[in-house]
């Protein structure tokens, strides 16, 4: 069960390190050793698991909305291009994470 850290106190070093790696953790881009360390921390720390859960839910909402007809294709393309640029890999699309769905189609 996760510890009930005081939200009014600054986060500790372990929390800061876990939160700094949350995106690479979600993307499955950590070494096995680092992934185990982050997972262990998330099991013990309520504020960090709450941040993790928020990021997972946010990705699911974005994925759902991005893959629906409610979002114009031109916006989907701009978002995908920006994310690809930010990831530093302009030559290929990121691998698909089955937890968050497919990247938007660029066929249009």
| CB-neighbour burial class of residue 6 (10 A; exposed 0-12, middle 13-18, buried 19+) | exposed
Contact 47, 60 (CB under 8 A): no
Q: Using DSSP, state whether 61 is helix, strand or coil.
A: helix
Note the pLDDT tens digit of each residue in 18-60: 888 888 998 899 999 999 999 999 999 999 999 999 999 998 8
Query: What is the tally of structural domains in the chain?
Result: 1
The three-class DSSP label of residue 59 is: helix
Owning domain of residue 102? 1-108
Model confidence, pTM: 0.51
97 DSSP 8-state letter? B
* pLDDT tens, residue by residue, 8-17: 444 577 888 8
The whole-number pLDDT of residue 81 equals 87
Comparing C-alpha atoms, which of 17, 8, 12, 19 is closest to residue 50?
19
With beta carbons less than 8 A apart as the criterion, state whether 41 and 14 touch: yes
């Amino acid at each position: 069960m996760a510890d009930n850290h005081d939200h009014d106190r600054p986060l500790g070093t372990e929390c800061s390190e876990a939160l700094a790696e949350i995106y690479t953790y979600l993307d499955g881009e950590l070494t096995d050793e680092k992934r185990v360390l982050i997972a262990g921390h998330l099991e013990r720390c309520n504020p960090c698991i709450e941040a993790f859960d928020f990021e997972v839910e946010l990705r699911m909402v974005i994925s759902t909305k991005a893959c629906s007809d409610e979002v114009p294709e031109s916006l989907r393309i701009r978002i995908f291009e920006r994310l690809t640029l930010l990831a530093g890999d302009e030559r290929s699309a990121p691998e698909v994470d089955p937890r968050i769905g497919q990247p938007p189609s660029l066929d249009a």
